[in-house]
Amino acid sequence: MQSNIQILCTRPLSKTLVEEALLESICIDEISFIETAPIQNIEVQQEVEQAALQITTVVFTSMNAVEAVADYLDGQAVDWAIYCMGTTTNQLVKKYFGEQQLAGIANSAAELAELIAEDQMIDEVIFFCGDQRRDELPDILQKKNIDVTEINVYQTIAVTHIIDKVYNGILFFSPSAVESFFIKNKLPDTTILFAIGSTTANEIKKYSSNKIIISNQPGKENLVRKMIEYFT
């Protein structure tokens, strides 16, 4: 079957999602524009181990951060109130730390910061993040007089590709992937760009005036289904 709609996804997807799109005559090419790798050194290990000894509030906005911290802890039990952003991150927090540790979940970093600030007992948090984290969450918390201790547990590495094919749509899941994509690529005006959230959409606007459609909810499944809905 000849697929009419050609889509580029800038991160890997499950086989199920690709097949779901194909049933609607949408063909998805998967090319990653970033890689993430845990930061593994003695300094970070000591910071994570020190955090594990505290009864404290912890924040994750990325699945990569959850996996990196879980790897360092290697099954060690913690007494944390965990706030996180997004469906996948939420699932991983439950998997590694248990559902009872989950204190709150939100769809964006700004919403998550406001949710944390609503609890007047919280005056400090530990934010496990990557080396290219965005400013929204720490900025809002600090304005609300909540101290933020950041521990960088993974790094984001740009992976550039030259794209010769013309796509009907491109899916972006992070500002760093947007930045990496536009290092070597320009787009025809007709390509529709799909963003996982407003931060990613704002990054796209720095490089392109193409139409942008933002997912209503975090999670790559939601963005893929938003794209399928748009083209069908």
163-218 tens-digit pLDDT: 999 999 999 998 999 999 999 999 999 999 999 988 899 999 999 999 999 998 77
Identity of the amino acid at 166: V
The CATH number of whichever domain residue 18 belongs to comes to: 3.40.50.10090
pLDDT in tens, 15-61: 999 999 999 999 999 999 999 999 999 999 999 999 999 999 999 99
Last residue of a domain, one of 112, 140, 156: 156
Statement: residue 3 has pLDDT above 60: no
Q: Residue 53 has what pLDDT?
A: 96
Statement: residue 2 has pLDDT above 80: no
Bridge partners, 128 (sequence order): 60, 151
Residue range 135-154: average pLDDT?
Answer: 95
On whether both 18 and 29 belong to a single domain, the answer is yes
On whether both 75 and 152 belong to a single domain, the answer is yes
Last residue of a domain, one of 96, 126, 156: 156
On whether both 128 and 192 belong to a single domain, the answer is no
On whether both 115 and 77 belong to a single domain, the answer is yes
Q: Domain limits at 141?
A: 37-156
Pairwise pLDDT comparison (2 vs 177), residue with the higher score: 177
Statement: residue 123 has pLDDT above 90: yes
pTM: 0.81
Q: In total, how many domains does the chain have?
A: 2
Statement: residue 81 has pLDDT above 90: yes
Statement: residue 1 has pLDDT above 60: no
**Which residue bears the tokens 């594990």?**
52
Q: What is the average pLDDT score of the chain? A: 93
pLDDT bucket at 219, cuts 50 / 70 / 90: confident
On whether both 79 and 134 belong to a single domain, the answer is yes
Q: Residue 28 has what pLDDT?
A: 96
